[in-house]
Amino acid sequence: MNQPESEHTPPPDSAEKKDSGLASAAASAAAAMFGVQSSKAHQRDFQKASPGKLIFMGAVMVCVFVTCVLFAVRCSLEQAGMTGN
């Protein structure tokens, strides 16, 4: 029997070719920073996402990481009584 047109799902290839969003790029960048991304996910991300989004999210993640490290060091020095003020 033929199924109605509304019940057809798109072929898997067309779903994979959609461009990923910033959330997906952020997840990919976070996984890459911590080294927990599988090679399959790594290849999928580089096939789907635009390089600009990945570079942007990578830069944002690095800035957030550096800010967190600086904050932790500043708080540690303050607790130890070694502030420069």
Question: How far apart are alpha carbons 56 and 36 in whole angstroms?
Answer: 20
Please give the single-letter amino acid code of residue 46: F
| Tokens describing residue 81 | 């009584």
**31-51 pLDDT, tens digit each:** 888 888 888 887 887 788 788
**46-80 pLDDT, tens digit each:** 788 788 888 898 899 999 999 999 999 999 999 98
Question: How far apart are alpha carbons 75 and 15 in whole angstroms?
Answer: 47
